[in-house]
Amino acid sequence: MAANYWESTQRKHWQVSSECLSQWRNATEERLRLSKHPNANIDLGDPTHIRIFLHGLLVKLGHRLSCRQQILATAELYLARFYAKASVKETNPYAIVTACLYLACKIEEYPQHIRSITAEARALWPDCVSSDSTIIGQCEFYLIEEMGMCLIVHQPYRSLKQFSRSMSDIYQGQLIILPDEMSCAWSVLNDSYITDLPLLYPPHIIALAALFVAVLTKAPRGSVSDTAVSGSRMANLADWLAQCGADLSAISNCVQQLLSLYHSWESYRDSTCQQIISKIINTS
């Protein structure tokens, strides 16, 4: 529940193994193939690129509505859950993104009228979103159903703040997370929603991985003494992680997935993905 991740529906129903995720995805692909769906054979390219594209849509609409990060993160997780069970090829992601944000606003107690959110989405993507808001309402229904009505989500941001506080308590200032690292870790968490991590790991593990990535990438480069300092910071961090009994293999798995996201991002082209999605949606 709000206070307890371990008793939450997120833990019980929406934290799955990577095998389970692939199984869901394969089943969807199989269904499209068997029903001879016109988009079944469209090549989506690097799946991460499509995820980056969807993330971009959500962030864009969220900023137009002045949504806080907490709302965006909830909507991102809804989107990830939905597309774990459905395929981008068989749906209109612009409408799904809008429905995710509409629902997240309500659940995070920052409700927006369905007509105004539809109007904002339409202003951004006039060819892809209908002016009829009941269509977004319909998407909301199917979205909620697909999520098994599990709507309250736990996010890693809270854990990140807690870890930073507890570290400075333990090391009496020696290993305080620098403001730079903290804001970097925060951005890494924002990006973590592009990956499968929120479906695979509990929020605190993702928060620790983000912290690790932040310390790693913010490490000063250049002089030998700097490298030594950053090396010892990394060692301290690893030491602290081991001390708190965190699942190190899970964390390292997360770190790898985050780093591979950034690697894949280097070859990302927005226009390419937009073309692929246009091919999927009938815009006539």
Nearest CB to another protein, comparing residues 91 and 264: 91
Nearest CB to another protein, comparing residues 190 and 253: 190
Please give the Cα distance from 76 to 189 (Å, whole number): 11
Q: How far, CA to CA in Å, does 87 sit from each of 58, 125, 204?
A: 17, 20, 29
Chain-centroid distance of CA 23 in Å reads 20
Least Å distance, CB 147 to another protein, is: 10
Least Å distance, CB 86 to another protein, is: 5
Q: How far, CA to CA in Å, does 164 sit from each of 191, 208, 236?
A: 19, 10, 13
Nearest CB to another protein, comparing residues 7 and 226: 7
| Residues sharing a CB contact under 8 Å with residue 217, sequence separation 6 or more, in sequence order | 184
Q: Which of 100, 259, 108, 83 is nearest to 188 (CA)?
A: 259
Q: Which residues bind another protein (CB under 8 A)?
A: 1-4, 7-9, 31-32, 35-39, 68, 70-71, 86-87, 90-92, 94-96, 102-103, 106-111, 113-114, 127-130, 132-142, 144-146, 149-152, 280-284
Nearest CB to another protein, comparing residues 37 and 218: 37
Least Å distance, CB 67 to another protein, is: 9
Q: Which of 135, 128, 101 is nearest to 117 (CA)?
A: 101
Burial (CB count within 10 angstroms: exposed 0-12, middle 13-18, buried 19+), residue 19: exposed
Nearest CB to another protein, comparing residues 67 and 241: 67
Nearest CB to another protein, comparing residues 123 and 152: 152
Are the beta carbons of 205 and 246 closer than 8 angstroms?
Answer: yes
- DSSP annotation of 245: T
Least Å distance, CB 99 to another protein, is: 8
Least Å distance, CB 238 to another protein, is: 31
Least Å distance, CB 52 to another protein, is: 20
Task: Fill in the amino acid letter for 108.
Answer: E
